[in-house]
C-alpha cells in the first residue's frame, strides 16, 4: 500500500466516523464537545475498515502511518477546524460536505504537524481525493483553503 493509499484509507475512516459520536465526527462543535465525545481506539477503527475492504492490502507500516494520522486529527480537530473556518470565506463547517471536511482535516494535519510530508504533496493529494470523492468544484475549493492555510503557516 502506498502513502497515497494510506492517506485515502485515513480519509475514508475519518469520513465513516463522522457519522458517529467519535472525536473524528465532531464537526465545528468545539473543544468541549471533542473532549466529551467517545474516543475510539484507532487500531479498532483501522481493523474494522480493512475487514470491510478486504481487497485493500495493508501492512503493519501502513497501519502505523494511518494510525498516526487518525490520532493526530482526533487530537487536533478543534484547532484544525478553526483553520478551516478562518480560511473559508462565507462558508461554515456545517455547510461543507463531510467528505470535503475529512479530506481537509487530513491535509491540514499533515501541513501543520507533519514536517516529513511536504505541504505541496498534502495539498495535491487532497485535491485529487476531492476530485475522486466529491463534487466537481471541490478540488478548487479545497485547494484554495489549503493554500491559504499553508501560506499562513509559513
Give one DSSP letter per residue of 63-129, joined into a string. HHHHHHHHHHHHHHHHHHHHHHHHHSTT--GGGS-HHHHHHHHHHHHHHHH-TTS-HHHHHHHHHHH
Please, are residues 9 and 66 in contact by the beta-carbon 8 Å criterion? yes
Which homologous superfamily is 3-153 in?
NusB-like (1.10.940.10)
Tell me the whole-structure pTM to 2 decimals.
Answer: 0.85
Q: What's the CA gap between 19 and 109, in Å, rounded?
A: 20
pLDDT of residue 69 exceeding 70: yes
CA dist list (Å): 45 to 3, 26, 28, 53, 153:
18, 16, 22, 12, 30
Residues 88-102: pLDDT tens digits? 988 899 899 999 999
Residue 38's beta-bridge partner residues?
A: 22
In the structure, what pLDDT confidence band is assigned to residue 47 with cuts at 50, 70 and 90?
A: confident
| Residue 22 backbone dihedrals phi, psi, to 5 degrees | -75, 165
Task: Tell me the average pLDDT of the chain.
Answer: 85
List pLDDT tens digits, range 98-115.
999 999 999 999 999 999
Asked if the model's pLDDT at residue 22 lies above 80, the reply is no
Confidence of residue 24 (pLDDT cuts 50, 70, 90): low
With cut-offs at 50, 70 and 90, classify the pLDDT of residue 28.
Answer: very low
Query: How is the chain split into domains, by residue range?
Result: 3-153
Of 16-30, 35-49, 51-65, 108-122, give the lowest mean pLDDT range. Answer: 16-30
Q: What is the DSSP letter of 38?
A: B
With 70 as the cut, is the pLDDT of residue 75 above it?
Answer: yes
Amino acid at each position: 500500500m502506498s502513502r497515497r493509499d494510506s492517506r485515502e484509507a485515513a480519509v475514508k475512516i475519518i469520513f465513516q466516523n463522522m457519522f458517529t459520536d467519535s472525536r473524528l465526527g465532531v464537526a465545528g462543535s468545539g473543544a468541549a464537545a471533542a473532549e466529551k465525545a467517545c474516543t475510539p481506539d484507532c487500531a479498532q477503527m483501522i481493523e474494522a475498515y480493512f475487514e470491510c475492504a478486504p481487497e485493500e492490502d495493508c501492512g503493519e507500516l501502513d497501519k502505523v502511518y494511518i494510525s498516526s494520522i487518525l490520532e493526530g486529527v482526533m487530537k487536533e480537530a478543534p484547532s484544525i477546524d478553526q483553520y478551516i473556518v478562518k480560511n473559508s470565506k462565507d462558508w461554515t463547517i456545517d455547510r461543507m460536505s463531510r467528505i470535503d471536511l475529512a479530506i481537509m482535516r487530513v491535509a491540514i494535519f499533515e501541513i501543520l504537524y507533519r514536517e516529513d510530508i511536504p505541504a505541496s504533496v498534502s495539498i495535491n493529494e487532497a485535491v485529487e481525493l476531492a476530485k475522486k470523492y466529491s463534487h466537481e468544484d471541490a478540488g478548487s475549493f479545497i485547494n484554495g483553503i489549503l493554500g491559504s492555510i499553508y501560506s499562513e503557516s509559513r
